Amino acid sequence: MWGAKLTGMTTEIPPFGKTGQLTGSELQFAMAFTSTPRGARLARRLASHRLDAWGFPYGSEVNETLTLVVAELAANAVTHGRVPGRDFRLSLTLTTARDRVRVEVTDTRGDRLPPARPCAPENPEAEAGRGLWLVTCLASRLSVEPREGGGPGKTVRAEVDLRGDVRGAEEVPVRPDDRTAVT
């Protein structure tokens, strides 16, 4: 059924506008994905494709770094933020100055928050448990906030500064009163 309408994925998610459209001073890509390993893989691949379209070629340091950040946050949304039948949302935002990319992954599990300060894994050979730590090493800023609009869930936001060396994320404490990360 080539003409069938796809459900669960969209390229128009309010309030961000259409995929890749210039909104104010930023370019943005936003899409919802199924909360499955396949959805996480598709998010990673489409993010890399969008970065290439924005002028950060496949294999470049920027593309590889941001694709890894997307992969880790999407995998966390699927592993720790999954609610059966609910999607997660990925948003990439590139500033007009092309000096920063913001990666946001929103899931529907607001009760399961990542640690305020991810630690290095105890066993460097372990196959799991280091994704958020990797993100803090690659991003210049990391935060966790309640889902926009008051819906269920949370948004994990990582910003990668493109103006120089990739540096570790600022420490972002989580306030226990409202579970909002402050930066």
- How much is the pLDDT for 118? 72
Q: Is 150 helix (H, G, I), strand (E, B) or coil?
A: helix
Is residue 48 scored above 50 in pLDDT? Answer: yes
Task: List, for residues 59-94, the tens digit of each pLDDT value.
Answer: 999 999 999 999 999 999 999 999 999 999 999 999
Is residue 115 scored above 90 in pLDDT? Answer: no
Strands in 42-129 per DSSP E? 87-95, 100-107
Confidence band, pLDDT 50/70/90 cuts, at residue 110: confident
- How much is the pLDDT for 27? 96
Chain mean pLDDT for the chain: 80
Backbone angles phi, psi at 99, to 5 degrees: -105, -5
Kindly state the tokens that stand for 1: 């059924």
CA dihedral 126, 131, 133, 137 (to 10 degrees): 120
Confidence band, pLDDT 50/70/90 cuts, at residue 49: very high
Name the pairing type of β-strands 141-146 and 100-107.
unpaired
Backbone angles phi, psi at 50, to 5 degrees: -65, -40
Confidence band, pLDDT 50/70/90 cuts, at residue 16: very low
- Taken in order of first residue, the domains within the chain and their CATH numbers are 22-181 (3.30.565.10)
Q: CB–CB of 138/91 below 8 Å?
A: no
Backbone angles phi, psi at 100, to 5 degrees: -155, 145
Adjacency order of strands within the sheet including 154-161: 22-23, 26-34, 87-95, 100-107, 154-161, 141-146
- How much is the pLDDT for 174? 36
Backbone angles phi, psi at 83, to 5 degrees: -125, 125
